[in-house]
Amino acid sequence: MSTGTTFASPSRADPLAPDRRPVTFLLAAALAAPDLWVTSWYGERFRGRPTASGEIFDPDGFTAAHRTLPFGTRLRVTNPTNGNTVEVRVNDRGPFVPGRQLDVSEAAAEALDIVDVGVKGLEVEVLETRGV
């Protein structure tokens, strides 16, 4: 009994078209991509307030807030759009906005050229982990 529906077999003209690449190829490409942390910044409004480490916040310093990295951890942060790089030291906790992994001080944000955009995916490398 026929229902009148026809099924065409998939085209074999281009077996590696972008939407048909082997899963292993896609996985390798994903693993090779740099690790981007969603990063925001905080500044003048917090000047003079104590950070979670007990230090007084200085928006002109090159510091950062992370939820779990030990205080004193040094990070290299790079803006992949322009190549600007800074080194910051974790001395605070945060960010507390869902989906964000790092807050940097205003000075670091200016050097990275992210002040105007506010939030950006940045490459982050842990240089040294130590406690204060």
* Domains of the chain by start residue, with CATH: 35-128 (2.40.40.10)
H helix or E strand, kind and range, residue 63 = strand 63-65
Q: Which two tokens stand for residue 47?
A: 């000047």
Mean pLDDT of the region 10-24: 48
Q: Is the pLDDT of residue 125 over 60?
A: yes
Handedness of CA 40, 91, 107, 74 (dihedral sign): negative
Q: What pLDDT band is residue 34 in, cutting at 50, 70 and 90?
A: low
Quick one: what percent of the chain has pLDDT higher than 70? Answer: 73
Mean per-residue pLDDT, 55-79:
98
The predicted pLDDT at position 108 comes to 99
Please compute the mean of the pLDDT values over residues 2-17 and round it to a whole number. Answer: 46
pLDDT band with cut points at 50, 70 and 90 for residue 32: very low
What single letter denotes the amino acid at residue 75? L
SS (H, E, C) 80-118: CCCCCEEEEEEEECCCCCCCCCEEEEHHHHHHHCCCCCC
DSSP states of 31-69: HHS--EEEEEEE-GGGTT-B-TTSPBP-TTS-EEE-SSS
**Collapsing DSSP states into helix, strand and coil, what is residue 44?**
helix
pTM score, two decimals?
Answer: 0.73
DSSP state, 72?
Answer: T
- Distance CA(9)–CA(109), nearest Å, equals 54
Query: So what's the pLDDT on residue 106?
Result: 99
Is 17 a residue whose pLDDT tops 80? no
Residue 127 host element (H or E): strand 120-128
Per-residue pLDDT, 131:
57
